[in-house]
């Protein structure tokens, strides 16, 4: 079992503290509201009106205790100004945190963009390197093919026969080496 103000009554007290002093009198909760909130948190407690008209909470923990009087609810102007100042500071703090979070998000986006740019650049460089290697291999293969074509053309001119001149023998020696 809980003692003290219930969440509802605590909310009413906090609401009163947040209101300006001019509206504080209008928003003062009825004693019965606070006592009903207190009794809702205590299962075995019950509320009744005494002869003076005040609400009395009775039960296992709250035997013959009267509910908090309306004057006990803090609503002075100084605390509401302090509360407004605190809320203003809290909003400023939240705005700073939001700004920091936004800056971190932007920094992360910039970092990701830079990483993607570097990755794309590396991929392009790798692609260019592969294309260059492929072009060199292709050029080398073309040189080999051209040399094979020339060799074949020379071989066609050199046919070995039983009777050949010295010049034909020299050409055939050059071709077949």
Structural domain boundaries in the chain: 7-75, 76-147
What pLDDT is attached to residue 114?
95
- Give the angle subtended at the CA of 107 by the CAs of 105 and 108, to the nearest 5°: 65
Residue 4 CB partners (closer than 8 Å, separation 6+) = 38
Which two structure tokens, joined as six digits, stand for 175?
């071709």
Helices (H) and strands (E) in the chain, counts: 5, 3
Low-confidence ranges of the chain (pLDDT < 70): 1-78
Tell me which residue of 73, 68, 15, 17 sits closest to 39, measured CA to CA.
68
Tell me how far apart the alpha carbons of residues 40 and 32 are, in angstroms, rounded to a whole number. 12
What percent of the residues of the chain are helix, what percent strand, and what percent coil, each to the nearest 5?
A: 70, 5, 25
- Secondary structure class of 95 (helix, strand, coil): helix
> Do 39 and 57 touch, CB atoms closer than 8 A?
yes
Residue 46 dihedral angles phi and psi, to the nearest 5°: -140, 155
pLDDT digits (tens, 9 = 90+) for 24-73: 444 445 555 455 445 544 444 445 555 555 655 555 454 444 444 444 55
Taking each helix axis from N to C terminus, what angle separates 7-18 and 31-41, rounded to the nearest 10 degrees?
A: 140
């Amino acid at each position: 079992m809980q003692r003290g103000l219930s969440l509802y009554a605590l909310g009413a007290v906090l609401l009163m503290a947040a209101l300006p002093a001019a509206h504080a009198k209008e928003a003062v909760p009825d004693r019965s509201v606070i006592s009903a909130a207190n009794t809702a948190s205590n299962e075995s407690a019950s509320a009744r009106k005494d002869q003076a008209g005040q609400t009395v909470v009775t039960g296992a923990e709250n035997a013959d205790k009267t509910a908090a009087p309306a004057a006990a609810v803090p609503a002075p102007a100084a605390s509401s100004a302090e509360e407004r100042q605190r809320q203003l500071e809290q909003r400023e703090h939240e705005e700073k945190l939001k700004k920091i979070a936004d800056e971190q998000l932007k920094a992360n986006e910039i970092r990701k963009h830079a990483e993607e740019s570097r990755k794309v650049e590396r991929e392009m460089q790798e692609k260019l390197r592969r294309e260059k290697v492929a072009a060199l291999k292709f050029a080398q293969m073309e040189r080999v093919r051209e040399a094979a074509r020339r060799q074949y053309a020379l071989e066609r001119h050199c046919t070995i026969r039983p009777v050949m001149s010295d010049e034909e023998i020299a050409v055939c020696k050059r071709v077949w080496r």
